[in-house]
Amino acid sequence: MPTLAIAGIAYNAEKGRMIKAIKFATVPVTDQDRALEFYTRKLGFRVVSDSPFDDRQRWIELGIPRAETRLVLFTGPGQESLIGSFMNVAFATKDVEATAEELKARGVRFVQEPQKADWGTSAIFEDPDGNRFVLATP
């Protein structure tokens, strides 16, 4: 396999030194049990790992159907101020309108209804802590 030079640094993909994906994104939450119920029962994610982390919280890693990227329900030390903010995460779906209707029927609150733009369609929903996420067409 050939070597690729990026920004003056040589990478050999065969040796596994290339970045291949995002492993996980972390979502800060106040109540892990409540968040776990929301993400599994309302959004349909599955538990990959739920293990003790320290005396305050657990490491809860969730799998998203048909995706390799995982979502972690965990608040890092000093990150409490991020709870209830706009998350830099966009979830992709083929049909934003239909997915939004299904999620609303499950009790998910949308703060922006589906809107069409030249690049596609998007909506914004929030979790029980007020963390907001984009739902968009790929």
- Would you say residue 129 lies in a domain? yes
C-alpha distances out from residue 1 to 5, 12, 19, Å: 13, 7, 16
Side-chain-facing half-sphere of 32: CA atoms under 13 Å:
19
| Assigned domain for 9 exists | no
Domain that holds residue 86: 21-136
Report yes or no on 100 lying in a domain: yes
Domain CATH number, residue 62 = 3.10.180.10
Number of domains present in the structure of the chain: 1
Round to whole Å and give the CA distance between 21 and 117. Answer: 27
58 pLDDT above the threshold of 80 = yes
**Separation of alpha carbons 114 and 127, rounded Å:** 17
Mean pLDDT, residues 92-101 taken together:
98
Mean pLDDT score, 99-118: 98
Answer whether residue 12 is part of any domain.
no
Q: Who wins on pLDDT, 33 or 6?
A: 33
The predicted structure's pLDDT at residue 10: 57
Mean pLDDT within 85-92 = 96
**Residue 14 has what pLDDT?**
62
Contacts of 96 (CB under 8 A, 6+ apart): 114, 120, 121, 122, 123, 135, 136, 137
Quick one: average pLDDT of 45-55? 97
- pLDDT at residue 3, rounded to an integer: 54
Res. 7: pLDDT tops 80 = no
pLDDT given at position 22: 92
pLDDT of residue 17: 74
Evaluate whether residue 13 is within a structural domain.
no
| pLDDT for the residue 18 | 85
d(Cα 52, Cα 57) in Å, to the nearest integer?
7
**Would you place residue 83 in the very low, low, confident or very high pLDDT band (cuts 50, 70, 90)?**
very high
Separation between Cα atoms, residue 125 and residue 110, nearest integer Å:
4
* Residue 112 in domain: yes
Domain assignment present for 11: no
